[in-house]
């Protein structure tokens, strides 16, 4: 994923006590052994986010992986169900054959069926053709990029306000975005930097990003590169503070699609509209 290297700063991540807790709490999302690092002392000041904030922000990052897991399991399900209506069609046509006067109209219906299937295919793609998607609390809306659809049911967890994904899976991964509501922090810039360090861990990479405009607010953020179930995933988080509430936008894409996905994330943030 492309970032502004001129403005970005690279850091060597450290692992804190609460990151270990985050890993344990999220173990059912991320298979594999839970690391047990030796924690250094945690700094405390008014400029540092609370451990609870880092935990919830970590959950936001992992929720996008949850969307991946849900989509991967859901994707094969419609395939077996597709032939079922085809098998039932002869049974539906049998009563029509008994009524000779209705046979000709039935043929007309069959002729109309082919375009109807085409229309259905078009309707499947239409949700990603600039459709507006609203948060569950009604506080904001976004416009879906082309080829995207609502994925809230796959990521429905406490704190999740909105989720969307690409309709087409690429390299066994659905590019997706998850928006969560988090605990408010007073110093957003410092909180973002500390969260990036915590989430990257010992072996992960992260890069801080320049704040992005989001409907009158400025959203600092970072990009993480992490391995998830054998795949290299790029995750970008943008933190938005609005009217005393913190919103965390987590955008996840597989490495091979990272550059192409930049435009989708930019479009989501640009289309963001507060409704209060």
Residue 112 maps to a domain: no
Specify the pLDDT at position 61.
Answer: 62
Give Cβ neighbours of residue 171 (< 8 Å, ≥ 6 apart). Answer: 231, 254, 256, 257
Question: Does the pLDDT of residue 130 top 60, yes or no?
Answer: yes
Specify the pLDDT at position 122.
Answer: 33
Instruction: Give me the sheet containing 273-274, strands edge to edge.
Output: 132-134, 140-143, 273-274
Q: How large is the average pLDDT for residues 243-256?
A: 94
Question: Does the pLDDT of residue 29 top 60, yes or no?
Answer: no
pLDDT per residue over 90-125, tens digit each? 444 444 444 444 444 444 434 333 334 444 333 333
pLDDT band of 50, cuts 50, 70, 90: low
Q: Which residue has the higher pLDDT, 226 or 9?
A: 226
We report the CATH number of the domain holding residue 259 as: 3.40.1000.10
Specify the pLDDT at position 60.
Answer: 62
Residue 25 CB neighbours (<10 A): 14
In terms of average pLDDT, the best of 26-35, 62-71, 141-150 is 141-150
- The secondary structure element, H or E, covering residue 197 is helix 188-200
Residue 12 maps to a domain: no
DSSP letter for 41, please: P
Q: What is the mean pLDDT of the chain?
A: 69
Instruction: Give me the sheet containing 205-214, strands edge to edge.
Output: 148-150, 160-166, 176-182, 245-254, 231-242, 217-228, 205-214
pLDDT per residue over 177-232, tens digit each? 999 998 888 889 999 998 888 888 777 789 999 999 999 999 999 999 988 888 89
Residue 170 maps to a domain: yes
Specify the pLDDT at position 155.
Answer: 83
Residue 7 maps to a domain: no
In terms of average pLDDT, the best of 3-17, 182-196, 257-271 is 257-271
pLDDT per residue over 137-188, tens digit each? 999 999 999 999 999 988 878 889 999 999 999 998 999 999 999 888 888 9
As given in the structure block, the two tokens for residue 93 are: 């046509």
Range of the domain at 259: 17-32+48-75+131-274
In terms of average pLDDT, the best of 7-11, 40-44, 117-121, 222-226 is 222-226
Question: Does the pLDDT of residue 19 top 80, yes or no?
Answer: no
- The secondary structure element, H or E, covering residue 63 is helix 51-74
Residue 9 maps to a domain: no
Residue 95 maps to a domain: no
As given in the structure block, the two tokens for residue 195 are: 């969260």
Specify the pLDDT at position 138.
Answer: 96
Residue 98 maps to a domain: no
Residue 25 maps to a domain: yes
Specify the pLDDT at position 198.
Answer: 85
C-alpha–C-alpha distance, residues 192 and 153, integer Å:
28
Q: How many domains does the chain have?
A: 1
């Amino acid at each position: 994923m492309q970032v502004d290297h001129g403005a970005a700063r690279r850091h060597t991540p450290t692992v804190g006590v609460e990151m270990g807790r985050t890993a344990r709490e999220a173990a059912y999302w991320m298979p594999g052994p839970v690391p047990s690092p030796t924690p250094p002392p945690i700094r405390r000041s008014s400029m540092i986010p609370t451990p609870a904030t880092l935990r919830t922000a970590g959950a936001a990052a992992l929720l996008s992986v949850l969307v991946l897991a849900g989509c991967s399991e859901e994707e094969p399900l419609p395939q077996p169900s597709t032939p079922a209506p085809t098998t039932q069609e002869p049974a539906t046509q049998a009563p029509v054959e008994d009524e000779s006067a209705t046979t000709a109209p039935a043929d007309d219906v069959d002729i109309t069926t082919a375009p109807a299937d085409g229309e259905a295919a078009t309707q499947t793609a239409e949700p990603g053709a600039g459709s507006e998607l609203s948060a569950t609390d009604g506080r904001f809306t976004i416009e879906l990029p082309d080829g995207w659809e609502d994925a809230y049911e796959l990521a429905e967890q406490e704190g999740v306000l909105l989720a969307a994904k690409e309709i087409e899976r690429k390299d066994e991964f659905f590019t997706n975005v998850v928006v969560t509501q988090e605990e408010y922090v007073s110093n957003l810039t410092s909180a973002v930097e500390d969260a990036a360090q915590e989430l990257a861990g010992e072996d992960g990479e992260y890069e801080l990003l320049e704040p992005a405009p989001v409907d009158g607010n400025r959203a600092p953020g970072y990009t993480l590169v992490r391995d998830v179930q054998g795949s290299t995933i790029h995750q970008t988080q943008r933190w938005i503070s609005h009217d005393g509430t913190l919103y965390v936008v987590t955008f996840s894409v597989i490495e091979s699609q990272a550059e192409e996905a930049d435009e989708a994330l930019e479009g989501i943030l640009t289309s963001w509209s507060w409704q209060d």
